[in-house]
Amino acid sequence: MRRYVFLIFILTLTNLTFSQPWRMEERQLKRIEEYKKVKLIESLDLSEEESVKFFSIYNEHQKKVRSLQKERNDVIDQISKMTKDESRFSEKRFFELENRLTEIDQELFKNRKEFYNNVRNAISPYKFAKFIVFEREFYRDLNNLIMRRRMQRE
């Protein structure tokens, strides 16, 4: 049960990180991703062979997550348009979109579970445990940094 709660937490955190109302430039996202990869290699002390295995799995997972998050955001944008004017609101269309949103969330969860299984086979259990902790700390630190920068601008 704790495992599922943790996975839901990670999905929510990922969703919050990638679906902020502000949009980071592609260049900024790329820099963050590269920095994360360097820190992962250092933190997990990955050998060259482990790095190749791990990042082939990781990159594929990230590609799927980005695709699903984009679709999820598109669905929410459609719902948002529907809620701008109650006279144009369609319950039928809303329930279709809501169902698709639920399907996407389930796909994200399934993808995360598959990713964890693949990573578990690519690196030692100890390094896998370190990876789980690393991800939480990385996104926590990233969110704190973003919040500090926002406050400095205001």
Question: Which among 131, 97, 147 has a CA at the least distance from the CA of 10?
Answer: 131
**Which class for 62: exposed (0-12), middle (13-18), buried (19 or more C-beta within 10 A)?**
middle
Domain of residue 150 covers 124-154
For 18-28, write each residue's pLDDT tens digit.
544 445 688 88
The burial of 54, by beta-carbon neighbours within 10 Å (0-12 exposed, 13-18 middle, 19 or more buried), is given as: buried
Q: What pLDDT shows up at residue 150?
A: 87
pLDDT of residue 10: 46
| DSSP-based three-state secondary structure for 82 | helix
Amino acid at 35: Y
* Whether 62 and 114 share a structural domain: yes
d(C-alpha 146, C-alpha 28), whole Å? 12
Query: What is the total count of domains within the chain?
Result: 2
Q: 68 with 99, same domain?
A: yes
Q: Do 140 and 118 fall into the same domain?
A: no
Question: How far is the C-alpha of 125 from the C-alpha of 148, rounded, in Å?
Answer: 35
Q: What is the pLDDT of residues 78-92, one digit of tens each?
A: 999 999 988 888 999
Give pLDDT, residue 146.
86
For residues 107 and 14, is the Cβ–Cβ distance under 8 A?
Answer: no
Q: Are residues 111 and 80 in the same domain?
A: yes
| Same domain as 132, residue 109 | no
pTM for the structure as a whole: 0.72
What whole-number distance in Å separates Cα of residue 68 and Cα of residue 89?
Answer: 25
Asked whether residue 59 falls in the same domain as residue 114, the answer is: yes
Residue 8 lies inside a defined structural domain of this protein: no
Same domain, yes or no: 148 and 110: no
The rounded distance, in Å, linking the Cα atoms of 33 and 27 is 10
